[in-house]
């Protein structure tokens, strides 16, 4: 065991998500950097690993095929989309325990509205776009994580969105599966 690794806590209950979610997937070196950061934090805290993503629409309870078709249709609107990450934030919400909020964007808001229309949804509450780095209960979080230089350097990054994917987000994060191999859209490189 490495010195910075915290073993998973015995008796720690993992939250289970429901439905099918629509994700925006980052591209290139930034995606690799985020993937490494998420894995390092998961090892350190004993929490779940997951793919870096921005959840455009969580937990759609309709047919997976409808979500997959919506992802394909959203792909053209996401072509060339870039999102700016804010400074890391620690919160008490399991699904937003440690996040990089996205700076407001008219293009992202339009994409969310289109997703709502395609899925026939009117979500409760405001859209709070973010990129999660850790899913955890408040007692699982190490307060020093937010002050770590590697996490702080992620704030201010601009991500190029490479794909829109429908993801079966039923159960714990470790069991989530991208539908259609996640290959629903690609955007041109700069």
Examine residue 6 and state whether it is found in any structural domain, yes or no: no
At a CB cut-off of 8 Å and minimum separation 6, what does 34 contact? 26, 52, 131, 133, 154
Give this prediction's pTM. Answer: 0.84
Examine residue 1 and state whether it is found in any structural domain, yes or no: no
User: Which pLDDT tens digit goes with each residue over 29-73?
Assistant: 999 999 999 999 999 889 999 999 999 999 899 999 999 999 999
Examine residue 159 and state whether it is found in any structural domain, yes or no: yes
Examine residue 137 and state whether it is found in any structural domain, yes or no: yes
Above pLDDT 90, what percent of the chain?
51
Split into its structural domains, the chain has a count of 1
Give the closest residue to 123 by CA, choosing from 60, 38, 49, 42. 60
Task: Pull the structure tokens for residue 163.
Answer: 């794909």
Give the closest residue to 98 by CA, choosing from 29, 22, 37. 37
Examine residue 8 and state whether it is found in any structural domain, yes or no: no
Q: What is the CATH number of the domain that holds 170?
A: 3.90.1140.10
Burial of residue 14 (number of CB atoms within 10 Å: 0-12, 13-18, 19+) = middle
Chain mean position to CA 17 = 13
User: Which pLDDT tens digit goes with each residue over 98-147?
Assistant: 999 999 999 999 999 999 999 998 877 889 999 999 999 888 888 788 77
What 8-state DSSP symbol labels residue 7?
A: P
Examine residue 87 and state whether it is found in any structural domain, yes or no: yes
Examine residue 69 and state whether it is found in any structural domain, yes or no: yes
Examine residue 189 and state whether it is found in any structural domain, yes or no: no
**Parent domain of 51:** 20-181
């Amino acid at each position: 065991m490495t010195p910075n690794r915290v073993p998973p806590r015995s008796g720690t209950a993992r939250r289970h998500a429901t439905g099918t979610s629509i994700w925006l997937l980052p591209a290139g070196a930034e995606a690799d950097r985020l993937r490494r950061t998420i894995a390092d934090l998961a090892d350190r805290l004993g929490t779940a690993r997951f793919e870096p993503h921005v959840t455009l629409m969580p937990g759609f309870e309709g047919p997976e095929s409808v979500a997959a078709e919506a992802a394909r249709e959203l792909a053209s609107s996401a072509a060339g989309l870039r999102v700016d990450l804010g400074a890391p934030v620690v919160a008490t919400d399991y699904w937003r325990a440690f996040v990089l909020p996205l700076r407001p964007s008219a293009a992202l808001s339009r994409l969310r509205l289109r997703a709502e229309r395609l899925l026939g949804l009117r979500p409760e509450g405001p859209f709070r776009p973010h990129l999660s780095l850790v899913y955890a209960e408040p007692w699982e979080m190490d307060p020093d994580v937010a002050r770590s230089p590697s996490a702080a350097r992620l704030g201010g990054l601009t991500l190029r969105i490479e794909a829109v994917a429908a993801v079966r987000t039923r159960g714990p994060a470790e069991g989530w599966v991208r539908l259609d191999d996640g290959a629903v859209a690609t955007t041109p490189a700069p």
